[in-house]
Amino acid sequence: MPEQSKIWLSSPHMGGEEQKFVKEAFDTNWIAPLGPNVTSFEHAISTYIDNNVFTAALSSGTGAIHLALELLGVSAGDEVLCQTFTFSASANPIKYLGATPVFVDSEVDTWNMSPKLLREAIVDRIAKDKKPKAIVAVHLYGMPYNVTEITAVAKEFDIPVVEDSAEALGSTFKGEKCGSFGTIGILSFNGNKIITTSGGGALVTKDESIKNKAIFLATQAREDAPHYQHSVVGYNYRMSNVLAGIGRGQMLVLDERVAARRANYQYYYDNLQTIEEIEFLNEPEGSFSNRWLSCILTPSFKVREEIRLLLLEENIESRPLWKPMHLQPVFSGCASYMDGTSENLFERGLCLPSGSNLEKEDLERVVRIIKSKFL
């Protein structure tokens, strides 16, 4: 039998107009960072998220988090509270600045930062005379964190929030777009995200001066002088005008991509929810997830691995949920405020193929294999 075609977890999906904008960059010889595609891409993002926001297009989401933390005043010796259940890029930039992450566990309703544990963590750090400088909260897999409560706790203690919206472009909370809730929001356009520039990110803020400072730092902190003048350490984090052309094309199909990913989730839900051993994460009232990745919970680590390996045998890529940061060797020794939620999700959870370019037959194949394990 010929080998079955590979089904990827989440692969890039071009809309068709991208090459037109890239060609524009070539035709006008704007093969630089900066240029008309960057400006237009930033405008498209701002308009999409909220008319009141300003956007700086950058070379990665990780770079955007790095700049966000620096702009919020995080420096060596500080502590930053960070959702433990996330991808390492949420936490690594805390270390770039010589600061220390303090991890906070998730709530079962959203799989994101628990407002209750966040509050406990802040009270305890303050009692230890180490008031956290910032909070990194994440809309994991596209599901909004509890914006109302997280924002309220942050306000109560006057701590700024970096809203890691890398996986949640197109998601909304009470009708407003993710990316607009934090003191600073960040986006990612990495190859596996809901839209991609092959590599890239953005910083989003309602404060124009923060945006201007981000662009300043992202272009080597070069001051306005005919010679090159520098008073602070800068970075090379700006997005290239060629890649921003891909981004302009992708913005045209973003809502279609959200609809396609949500349809994947709905298909899995409709066809697997009758299996008692499988659980899904429903949207809490007021939340709209872009369903970047469709995830299921199995009864145990053992069953999760059996399903993952069954799929792998059939040339289908799936992946365990993110391994929490407080369990990662690189962050061992960091303080953490845990109740077991993220560890439990990591043990039992599996991300299924979720690309917006999956065919009906692909989804059928995945469902058939998972069903064969239970029925």
Contact residues: ligand PLP, CB under 6 A: 60-62, 86-87, 89-90, 138, 164, 166-167, 188, 190, 201
Supply the minimum distance, in Å, between the C-beta of residue 291 and ligand PLP. 14
DSSP 136-148: EEE-GGGPPP-HH
* Nearest CA-CA partner of 125 in 159, 106, 102, 152: 102
Q: Which of 193, 206, 211, 373 is catalytic?
A: 193
Supply the minimum distance, in Å, between the C-beta of residue 192 and ligand PLP. 7
Rg (CA), the chain: 21
* Nearest CA-CA partner of 53 in 239, 218, 166, 207: 207
Q: What is the dihedral of CA 281, 284, 289, 294, to 10 degrees?
A: 10
Supply the minimum distance, in Å, between the C-beta of residue 88 and ligand PLP. 8
C-alpha–C-alpha distance, residues 52 and 55, integer Å: 10
Q: Residue 66 burial (CB < 10 Å; 0-12/13-18/19+)? A: buried
DSSP run (H or E) holding 185 = strand 184-188
Nearer to ligand PLP, 68 or 117 (CB): 68
Supply the minimum distance, in Å, between the C-beta of residue 96 and ligand PLP. 12
Q: Is 193 one of the catalytic residues?
A: yes
Nearer to ligand PLP, 78 or 164 (CB): 164
Nearer to ligand PLP, 172 or 188 (CB): 188
Nearer to ligand PLP, 86 or 264 (CB): 86
User: Do residues 160 and 72 lie in contact, with contact meaning Cβ atoms separated by under 8 Å?
Assistant: yes
Supply the minimum distance, in Å, between the C-beta of residue 243 and ligand PLP. 12
Region label for 308, one of left (φ > 0), alpha (ψ between -120 and 50) or beta (otherwise): alpha
Q: Residue 292 burial (CB < 10 Å; 0-12/13-18/19+)? A: buried
Q: What is the number of the residue whose Cβ is closest to ligand PLP?
A: 61
Nearer to ligand PLP, 60 or 287 (CB): 60
Catalytic residues: 193
